[in-house]
Structure 1
Amino acid sequence: MSSLPATVVYQQFEEPVSDLSGLLGKHIIYTYSNGWEYEIYYKNSDTVDYRVRSGLVGGRVVKGQKVSIKQLQTTLPSETIEGSDRETSMYMISWVEPTGTSVVQVLNLNRREVRRVILFPDWVMKEPL
């Protein structure tokens, strides 16, 4: 008995429009629990400039890094901060550097939190600069 392949229906999804006005133009300095410190400037909807202030590749400065920036839709309620209600402002920024390093950053601006995953190629770990 042979079975027929299942019919697959593809549905086109439209990407929601991201409102990046709460992020663009911001300059942020942050330090991770391991002591690594970074500084980043969200220049426009597809570009950041950043400097590694300390850590494995401390001293590295990158200008004009192309990125993907998306506003995240959350189920978190609006927060009351400093006496005013504000929508939760969360963004995901991702990029791949010419070195092969991949970065994904999630920002919650209301809570002043930065979460990041950095995947370094093996050669960067062996010879950071």
Structure 2
Amino acid sequence: MLGTGIAALAGLAVALATWTGLGGLPGLVVPLFVFVAATGLIVANSIAGARNDFPARSGAVSALVGAMQYGSGILGSGMVSAFTTGTPLAMGLVIALTGIGSLLCAAWLHQLKPASAVH
């Protein structure tokens, strides 16, 4: 949940920077860097958790997670293209949406796990 929380906050900061221009280029680059860094936490832990839940199919699980990551990148870039205004605002909004969506999914999965399985 830590990684998704960081991603959600960084995504909101990216959206704010693209909407208002607050902080100029550093105001966009710093939260964008934090968002991408949080992705490393999220993906690595997602693969480990999924492989732990399905050890007999760990190769297929890793492939599925990779395909989902690739597919979500395609959908995200399509959304940015569809909503572009000639400014980075569409990118900022899509990044914020994916960060918040990731946090909501992690919270939902955390709620589904039995208390004894949550570390």
Using CA pairs under 8 Å that are at least 6 residues apart, name the structure with larger relative contact order, 1 or 2.
2
Structure 1 or 2: more helix by fraction: 2
TM-score range, shorter chain: under 0.3
Q: TM-score, structure 2 length as denominator?
A: 0.23
Structure 1 or 2: more strand by fraction: 1
Higher Cα Rg: structure 1 or 2?
Answer: 1
Q: TM-score, structure 1 length as denominator?
A: 0.22
